[in-house]
Chains A and B, each alone.
Chain A
Amino acid sequence: MVGAMEIYKLLPTDACKECGYSSCMALAVALLNREKKLEDCPALLNPKYADKFKKLKELLAPLEKASETGLIIHPEKCFGCGNCVVACPVNVAAEPTRCGIGLGPQGDRVILAVEDGVVKCMNVKECRRFGPNKVMCNACTVTCPSKAIEFV
């Protein structure tokens, strides 16, 4: 997954502050968190940075698929093992007698469920990573055997 440093290396790094941030590194983090768009950097629109702009577009393209919590699912890599479904603390709290003991969920209050052989994400607002007071929980990504789930 793309990191802030990779984005920073492709920014003009002239600290013009026209984007509203005090440094290009701060802008790189904002781009990674999808709080700003590339067009918010006026210097980058200069034709001499056209190559870098194009590379940044390609670099940030996968982030468009991410949910509001930054979760990206690669269905082609998923085994459908359900490790994330059982490990997710929100799932366990929602269905302690199902997800808590390793069974698949039955209700619709869970965040992660396996459908058609691959994991699906739903009810994003219930995720501990949602909103400004987010908890940096990673129970679903560390239990994935094939790295089919990632956070931005």
Chain B
Amino acid sequence: MAVCTGCSLLCEDIELTLKTGAISQVKNLCRKGHGHFQALFTERIVPKIDGQEVSVDQAITKAVDILRNAKHPLLYGWSNSALEAQRVGIDLGKKLGATIDDTSSFCQGILMELVLTGKLPTCTLDDVRNFADTSVFWGADPSNSHPRLLSRFAYYPRGSKRQKSYEEERNCLVVDVRKSATAKLCSNYFRVPPGGDADFIASVIDVLDGKIPKYGDKKRMIDLGTILRKTEYGVIFPGVGLVYALQDKIELLKTLVAKLNEITTFKVVPMVEHYNMRGFNQLLLDDSGSINRVSFHSGQVTHGPENSIMAAAKICDAALVIGSDPLSSLPFGTAKSLAGVSLIAIDPRRSLTTDAAQVVIPSAMYGLEAGGSAIRMDGVRIEFEPIVKSDLLSDEQILARIKEEI
């Protein structure tokens, strides 16, 4: 059995058949995970310095030189890496006096902070399967982003208290700007215009208070209120769509969840995209008191927006990117700034960042070539063992060597 590291569901029931070191057949792996594992054989990279192929040792030595001489080093990425590597990475950041940030800074950080600090009630996905009768996907399309979420936990499986499952006992609500693949399957779909989520939340709160809603179709909003009131155990899965729409109005979501919990039980499980983003957020929170955007410059721990990737990319003189592809995913201005500094990329596969990096260090892919552990989107720790033998160093080993040499 292998663990898929394609998304934050970390599916543990993957059956691989290996033939002369390659995957010949794989069972129970979704299309996204299949693509993730297949890239192991098609998009591999080799160690490089300034586009010239070198040995891993030379690439690591060059990376050490760059980081040692940098005044404002930045360590970014981390979401697609194991907990062990993240632990070493945080220690490396302290040793270097670096700024450290991860992908949550640009997506679900605000929400994750509320969940990890206990300001929003949360539960595990096993609780969702066993007890939940209403799942609300808000600004998220799990059929595409987490293909097996509905079948493994949220809607279709039979749980200990939900034996009749989707046929009689479960509701699936989708609030989104478009009729997504998930919206086609759900029992109720509510369309909101882009940015209209705050008004929608205000209307749901009105309905729950017994008032006439100001926004949207009044009859449908009252129906929604009835479904929410009748729920015994509800779970809201907020996606990036909701977080981007709310931004500084995230308190509204807290108010809604508090209001729902006055009536019944409602939990929040953020739809984390990368397989170990929550793990990094948890580690950094335990270590420094903040989930992201931390600076260890001059031996002092500071956190704030000035340490976010958006700001730090403009002032850093060297950057180490691991487990992420910021040049593809970040806005052009930030990506351009990042591409202009001495860039070190550690990744198992080719990406735009590895193409533009000054130093490229290939690493083993977690879940297949390297073992470790990661935190699933609901906070459960999942361990995984290497399935394929590989000569490549893992992220943890590479970072440990860099840290040692520095």
Q: Which residue, A83, A98, A102, has most C-beta atoms of chain B within 10 A? A: A102
Decide if B30 touches A117 in the complex (CB within 8 Å): yes
Taking a contact as CB atoms under 8 Å apart, the answer to whether B148 and A82 are in contact is yes
Q: Is A46 an interface residue (CB 8 A)?
A: no
Interface bits A106-146 vs B (CB < 8 Å: 1, else 0): 10000001111110000000000000000000000001011
Within B140-163, which residues are at the interface with A (CB < 8 Å)? 143-144, 147-148, 150-153, 155-159
Q: Is the interface of A mostly helix, strand, loop or mixed?
A: loop
Instruction: Please tell me if the beta carbons of A79 and B31 are within 8 angstroms of each other in the complex.
Output: yes
Given known A-B contacts A113-B27, A116-B25, A145-B184, A79 and B34 have beta carbons under 8 A apart: no
CB of A87 within 8 A of CB of B34, answer no
Interface pair B13/A81, CB less than 8 Å apart: no
Do A146 and B181 contact each other (CB < 8 Å), given the known contacts A86-B156, A86-B157, A101-B129?
A: yes
B181 touches A114 (CB 8 A): no
Asked if residues A82 and B30 are in contact (CB atoms below 8 Å), the reply is yes
Provide the bound-state CA to CA distance between A87 and B166, in Å: 9
* Interface pair B29/A114, CB less than 8 Å apart: yes
A-B contacts, CB under 8 A, total: 96
B290 CB-CB contact with A under 8 Å: no
CA distance A87 to B25 in the complex (A): 24
Query: Closest chain A residue to B12 by CB distance?
Result: A103
B15 contacts A by Cβ under 8 Å? yes
Least distance between B149 CB and chain A CB atoms (Å): 8
CA distance A145 to B143 in the complex (A): 7
Query: A101 and B158: CB pair below 8 A?
Result: yes
Residues of B within 8 A of A101 (CB): 129, 157-159
Binding site for B on A (CB under 8 A): 78-83, 85-87, 92, 98, 100-106, 113-118, 143, 145-146
Please list 11 pairs of residues, one from A and one from B, whose beta carbons are closer than 8 Å in the complex, sorted by A's number. Answer: A80-B29, A82-B30, A83-B150, A83-B155, A100-B158, A115-B26, A117-B35, A118-B31, A143-B185, A145-B181, A146-B143
